A = this chain, B = another copy of it.
Amino acid sequence: MKELLNIFKALSDKTRLRIIKLLEHGELCVCDIVAALEMVQPKVSFHLRVLKKAGLIKDRKQGKWMHYRLDESDIFKRFVTVSVIEKISDTMVKEDYERLERFMKNKSEGLEATTSKNRCCV
């Protein structure tokens, strides 16, 4: 019962639903999410931790970047997250994605302009 409670608690916050919705588009690093949601980084990290504790997302460290993705290994959790994804049709979610796309585009363009690796989320 405690595990189930943690899942529902994790899903009962708007910011976290927005993050789940973003991760539907694939693995993202913290700075991607920060850019998409226009929130300060510790806030995003806090919510990522809650989602991870509930077992809804997984992380992967690569250099100084931390990448997060949906954990779809558990059928129940997967259903719940898919339900979330299906049910949310929110202006805010659309805007999050637009910001994400813009941010990702800038990143890749920046990459072309220089060979530096000291750039966010390369």
Contacts and interface: CB of A to CB of B under 8 A. Distances in A.
A29 to B, nearest CB: 25
A12 B8 contact: yes
Contacts of A12: 5, 8-9, 11-12
B1 A88 contact: yes
For this complex, into which size category does the number of interface residues on chain A fall? 20 to 34
22 contacts: A1-B14, A1-B17, A1-B88, A1-B92, A1-B93, A4-B17, A4-B87, A4-B88, A5-B12, A5-B13, A5-B14, A5-B17, A8-B8, A8-B11, A8-B12, A12-B12, A76-B83, A76-B87, A79-B79, A79-B83, A80-B80, A80-B83
Nearest to A1: B90
Contacts of A83: 76, 79-80
A90 B4 CA distance: 11
A121 interface: no
Q: By CB atoms of chain B within 10 A, which of A1, A83, A93 has the most? A: A1
Interface in A70-122: 76, 79-80, 83-84, 87-90, 92-93
A69 to B, nearest CB: 21
